[in-house]
Amino acid sequence: MNLAPATGGSLDSRSKYLRSLIIDGLSAGRGHVGSSLSLVEILRVLYDDVLEVRPQDPLWADRDRFFLSKGHGCLALYAILADHGFFPKDELQRFCKPGALLGGHVDAHIPGIEASTGALGHGLAIGVGSAIAARLRGRDARTFVVMGDGELDEGSVWEAALAAAKHKLDRLTIVIDYNKLQSYGTIEEVLPLEPLADKWRAFGFAVREVDGHDVSALRDTFAALPFTEGKPGAVIAHTLKGRGIGFAELNPAWHHKSSVDQATIDELRQALKAN
C-alpha cells in the first residue's frame, strides 16, 4: 500500500497551536525542526485521546508507557507534554539553554519522559521490556513506541521486533513516522525500506497504514488496537517532514537547524499562519 498524506488544506487550530509551541522552543537558536513537525498529529492523538497518563502524577504505576525512540524529535513531545501540564510552558522558551530542563534529545529526568533516547534504534527494545514487565506485574497498561523511518536502518530495531513477536506482545504498538527523509537525504537514496508493511508483517506484527496528519484517521486506527490478538501492532504513519511550514516541507535542510535567528523564527510563524 502506497499511502501518501494529504498535502493540501489547512491545519486546524490545535495543530497550529502545538506547532507554535515548537517554534517557541527555537529561541535558543537550534533544534530538529522538520523531524518534530512531522510528529505533531501522531503525538496529539496519542496524548489527547489514547494514552492513560496523569500529568500531575507522571510516575503513576498503572500508566501507559510512551517512548519517543526518535529522540531528536523532542520539540514535538515537549510541546504536547507542556500543553498537558507535565511541566510549565515557560520551559519551552529555555530549550537547550544552559541549566534548562529540556535538552536536544529527550531525557528521563523530564516529567513524562520514560527513557532517554536519541541514540537511534534503542526505543523498541526498551518498549519490549516495558511491555513484558507490565504483563509480569499483571498490569493492563499499554506501551507505544514512535520511531523514525531512518531509524529502521538500525539492526537493533529488527532484533527487538523478533522478541516482540515471540512474546506475543499485543499490548505493544509501534508507530513509524514515515516522512521518507532522513538526516541527509531521502530514504530511497540512503537505504530503501519498501515493502515496509510486508517487512513488519513478516516479523510477526499486525500492520495498519494511515495518513499521519489526519487526526480522525489516527483516532480510528488507535481505537482498533489490538489489531490482532497475540500480535504486536505496527502503525505506518505517512507524514511530511516539516509539515505546516511550507518552505520546510520535504526539505532535508530543515532536519536540524543550528543557527535559527529571530528573523527566521518570525518567518516560521508567518508560514504557519498561512497554512
Amino acid identity, residue 125? A
- In the predicted model, what is the mean pLDDT of the chain? 93
User: Which residues sit opposite 234 in a β-bridge?
Assistant: 174, 207
For 142-186, the pLDDT digits (tens) are 999 999 999 999 999 999 999 999 999 999 999 999 999 988 889
The pLDDT of residue 9 is: 60
pLDDT band at residue 54 using 50, 70 and 90 as cut-offs? very high
Does residue 42 contact residue 217 with C-beta atoms inside 8 Å? no
Instruction: Supply φ then ψ for residue 181, to 5 degrees.
Output: -135, 140
Helix or strand holding residue 221 (H, E): helix 215-223
The pLDDT of residue 2 is: 45
- pLDDT tops 60 at residue 137: yes
- pLDDT tops 60 at residue 188: yes
- pLDDT tops 80 at residue 1: no
Query: Reduced to 3 states, what is the DSSP secondary structure of residue 40?
Result: helix
The pLDDT of residue 118 is: 84
Average pLDDT over residues 230-241: 97
Does residue 102 contact residue 78 with C-beta atoms inside 8 Å? yes
User: What are the structural domains, with CATH classification, of the chain?
Assistant: 13-274 (3.40.50.970)
Average pLDDT over residues 114-120: 92
Instruction: Please state, in angstroms and rounded to a whole number, the distance separating the CA atoms of residues 47 and 63.
Output: 12
- CA dihedral (14, 4, 126, 91) in degrees, to 10, reads -30
Instruction: Please state, in angstroms and rounded to a whole number, the distance separating the CA atoms of residues 6 and 238.
Output: 9
Average pLDDT over residues 64-72: 97
- pLDDT tops 80 at residue 25: yes
Q: Between these two residues, 66 and 252, which has the higher pLDDT value? A: 66
Instruction: Please state, in angstroms and rounded to a whole number, the distance separating the CA atoms of residues 44 and 51.
Output: 10
- pLDDT tops 80 at residue 6: no
The pLDDT of residue 119 is: 84
Q: In the numeric block, which cell numbers belong to residue 237?
A: 504513519
For 192-208, the pLDDT digits (tens) are 999 999 999 999 999 99
